[in-house]
Homo-oligomer: A and B are copies of this chain.
Amino acid sequence: MDESSPALAIDIGGTKLAAAVVEVGGRVVTWAQVPTPRELDGEQVWRTLESLVGRVLDEAGRPASASLAGVGVGCGGPMDWPAGIVSPLNMPAWRAFPLRSRLQEQFSGVPVRVHNDAICLVAAEHWRGAGRGKDNVMGMVVATGVGSGLILDGRVIEGASGNAGHIGHVVVDPDDAQVCGCGARGCLEGIARGPALAAWAQGQGWRPDQPGATAKELAGDAAQGHPIARAAMRRAGRALGIAIASATYLCDLEVVSIGGGLSQAGAMLFDPLHESLREHTRLPFARRVSVVPAALGQSAGLVGAAALILAGHRYWTGD
């Protein structure tokens, strides 16, 4: 390996497993993904990942670990960090799975680093995306769950247990009728995560004959002008605006970048978001925050995982 070697990046989520070879500058050279296996045990999921990684390295012409700068991994939490022993909420097959050490056996001689997917997202946006050149950035994911990573005063914030950035459980309306998966009332995630939003719309009479209709279908109907679907998007946008206002006041943020499936809904989501954000940020310093869709879009997770290696002095504070 030399200083210009690329990194292997891996992104582990409840919906898909993705892998890529990423150049020093942040460009994704080659990548592939597979649906996250269901009904398989932990070892079978590991072999699925091994095979995906092998395919990507072959395509990039980098079959040997010696030709890599290292392996960076973003994974859903919770995890034991920096040990990289992972138990992703949405992947029951992996409970206390020693992901970092298993990868280290495969890629001996180069660094292997595993971090929360939200940290990877904010690292990506800070390194090569919407937060470039800024010192105070929140990178959010709005999808099946709602989470974020924080960079404050130019440094990744870990918090007491590596859980800083849990914006999904910031309270946006303590009297809201909808109960979050965590058991509390009025959490951002309880209102704005895709499945909660679809459930709310169904409660209002949207697609009554199709139980289990998805947030993607909801966004599609909203784009067609369906009044309940549009109200659902306003509800999510308003909740996001309130939570971002609170985070901006508390952390004095410059940039908030929003990725994840629901963020692709565009103005239907961002217009009410900006409206409630303006309503709740009156002091001049808070007014300056810029809230934008994630510049790196769906590749942010992979680019951020690569940043743990290629810009590790900025984004990796573990061992």
Residues of B contacting A160 with CB < 8 Å? 134-136, 252-254, 285, 288
Interface residues of A (CB under 8 A from B): 78, 134-136, 150, 152-153, 155, 157-175, 182-187, 242, 245-247, 249-254, 276, 279-283, 285-286, 288, 317
Contact B285–A167 (Cβ < 8 Å):
no
Contact B252–A161 (Cβ < 8 Å):
yes
| Cα distance A217–B194 in the bound complex, in angstroms | 48
Contact B169–A172 (Cβ < 8 Å):
no
Contact B152–A164 (Cβ < 8 Å):
yes
Q: Give the interface SS of chain A, mostly helix, strand, loop or mixed.
A: loop
Contact A249–B282 (Cβ < 8 Å):
no
Residues of B contacting A280 with CB < 8 Å? 169, 171, 174, 184-187
Residues of B contacting A155 with CB < 8 Å? 153, 155
Contact A246–B153 (Cβ < 8 Å):
no
Contact A282–B173 (Cβ < 8 Å):
no
Residues of B contacting A169 with CB < 8 Å? 245-246, 249, 280-283, 286
Give A159's nearest chain B residue, CB to CB: B252
| Cα distance A168–B285 in the bound complex, in angstroms | 14
Partner pick for A282 among B170, B184, B276, B317, CB 8 A cutoff: B184
Partner pick for A163 among B164, B182, B252, B279, CB 8 A cutoff: B252
Contact A250–B252 (Cβ < 8 Å):
no
| Minimum C-beta distance from A245 to chain B (A) | 6
Contact B170–A173 (Cβ < 8 Å):
no
14 A-B pairs with CB atoms under 8 Å apart are A152-B157, A152-B159, A152-B164, A153-B317, A160-B285, A163-B252, A164-B251, A165-B252, A169-B281, A170-B250, A171-B172, A174-B276, A183-B282, A186-B280
Instruction: Using A182-B282, A183-B282, A184-B279 as known contacts, list a sample of 6 further A-B pairs with CB atoms less than 8 Å apart, ordered by residue number in A.
Output: A160-B254, A164-B251, A165-B250, A169-B282, A171-B245, A246-B250
Closest 5 CB pairs of A and B: A159-B252, A164-B252, A166-B249, A170-B246, A169-B249
Partner pick for A170 among B249, B279, B285, CB 8 A cutoff: B249
Contact A286–B251 (Cβ < 8 Å):
no
| Cα distance A163–B169 in the bound complex, in angstroms | 23
Contact A252–B152 (Cβ < 8 Å):
no
